[in-house]
A and B are shown apart, each in its own frame.
Chain A
Amino acid sequence: MADDVADTYTESQVIMTAVKVIAPFTLTYGMFMTLHGADTPGGGFQGGAIVGVTILMLAFAFGIEPTRRWLRNSVLVSLVTGGVVVFTGVGLATIALGGNFLEYDRFSEIGIAGKWGMEAIEVGGVSLIVSGVVITLFFAMAAGFTAERGPTATDADRGGDD
C-alpha cells in the first residue's frame, strides 16, 4: 500500500448504501439463527458470528474509528465475559440442583423446562462469546490504522518504507 496507512478508509456511496440495505437483514438472520438454533440449522456459534460480521460490515462502510467509539470497550468486555459467566452459571446451577454439569433436566425441579437451559447457553453463552470475540479481534487488528495512540515504532518503520 503506497498510501498512508491512516487513509485506508475510503468513503464510498456504493458500499455505504449496500451495507445500509443488507445490515438489517444479516442482523435479523443472525438473531434468528441464534434464537431458533435448537429447531432449525444454525445455533449460537453461527448466529453469533453473523451478528459479529454485521458490525464488521458497518465498520468497513462507515469507518472503523466511529464504529469503535460507538461500541465502547465496556460493552464488548461485558459481552464476552458475560457469555462465559452465563455458560458457567447454567452449568453450576444444574450442579446446585443436584445434577451433573449442564444436566438441563434438573431445571424441571424449579419449574423450568430443560430445553430453556440449552437455549440459555446457546443464546446467552456461545453467541455472546463468539460475536464479542469476532468484533474484538477485528478492532484489535485494525487498531494500527489510527493515530489515536501516537506514532509507535512500527509506524515509524512503515513510514520509512513508503
Chain B
Amino acid sequence: MSALAYALVAFVLATAIATALFRDVLSTIVVFGAYSLGMAILYTYLLAPDVAMTEAAIGAGVTTVLLLLTIARTTRPSPDQLFERLDVPAVVAVGAFLLVAGTQVLPEMWAVGDPTAPVWSNAEVSQYYIQNTYADTHAQNAVTAVLAAYRGFDTFGEAVVVFAAGVAVLLVLKREVFV
C-alpha cells in the first residue's frame, strides 16, 4: 500500500472514532460526513468506483443532509464537555476484539489485488462474469450488468423496497402527499 492509502486509512479511523466520541450531535454528523467521504476515496483507491460513487452520493451527501434536517428540528444543548465519557468495559471489549482481528484474522486474509485470491480466480463466479459479461449483455461495466441483467430480479426487489420505504416514511410522518 502506498503512503496515500495509509493516510486515507488513518483519516477514516480517526473520523470513525471521532464520530463515536464527540458529545455534540452536530459535530458528530459533520465528522460522519467526513468519514463517508474518506471511505468513498478509499473505495476508489481499492478500484471499486461504483461503490465509491454510492458512498459519496448517499453516505456523504443524502445521509448528512437528512441528519442535519432532523437535528435542526431539535433543541441543541450547550455541550458541557467535548467528548463522551469512555465506558471502560466497552473499550476493553472493543479493544480485545480489535486485537484478535488485527493479530489473528488480518494476517490470514488475501492481499488486496492478489490474482490468486479465490474471490478473483474462481472460474465459476468472478471469472465467468469477467469473461462472459460483454458477450451476454453487451455492457462493458460488469457491475451494472450483474445488477441489472444477471441479478435483475433482485434489483427489481430492491427498487420496490426503496419505493415502499418512501411510502412508509410518509405514512409514519402522517403526510398524505409526497411534498
Mark A residues whose CB is within 8 Å of B.
1, 5, 8, 33, 37-46, 49-50, 52-53, 56, 60, 68, 71-73, 76-77, 80-81, 83-84, 87-88, 91, 101-102, 104, 113-115, 118, 121-122, 125-126, 129-130, 132-134, 136-145, 158, 161-162
Contact = CB atoms under 8 A, between A and B. Distances in A.
* Number of chain B interface residues as a range: 35 or more
A140 B170 contact: yes
Nearest to B47: A41
A125 B62 CA distance: 20
B46 interface: no
A140 B178 CA distance: 7
B140 A43 contact: no
B141 A38 contact: yes
Q: Which 7 A-B pairs have the closest CB atoms?
A: A41-B49, A102-B152, A49-B57, A38-B139, A133-B166, A46-B53, A39-B140
Q: Which of B75, B159, B165 has the most CB of A within 10 A?
A: B159
A56 B69 CA distance: 11
B72 A40 contact: no
B159 A126 contact: yes
Interface string B45-69: 0000110011001100110011001
B166 A118 contact: no
Given A33-B53, A80-B166, A126-B155, A43 B141 contact: yes
Contacts of A43: 50, 141, 143-144, 147-148
Given A91-B156, A102-B152, A114-B138, A139 B62 contact: no
B109 interface: no
A119 B113 CA distance: 30
Given A41-B49, A42-B50, A137 B166 contact: yes
A80 B53 CA distance: 22
A134 B74 CA distance: 22
A8 B178 contact: no
A53 B178 CA distance: 17
B65 A139 contact: no
B112 interface: no
Contact of B159 (A83, A118, A137, A139): A83
Contacts of B57: 46, 49-50, 53
A88 B160 CA distance: 10
Given A39-B139, A41-B143, A113-B138, A46 B50 contact: yes
Nearest to A143: B175
16 contacts: A1-B74, A1-B75, A38-B137, A41-B49, A53-B65, A80-B163, A84-B160, A113-B138, A121-B156, A129-B159, A133-B166, A136-B178, A136-B179, A137-B169, A138-B66, A145-B72
Q: Which of A5, A44, A46, A101 has the most CB of B within 10 A?
A: A46
Contact of A118 (B66, B145, B156, B177): B145
Contact of A37 (B66, B137, B141, B163): B141
A104 B163 CA distance: 23
A118 B75 contact: no
B146 to A, nearest CB: 10
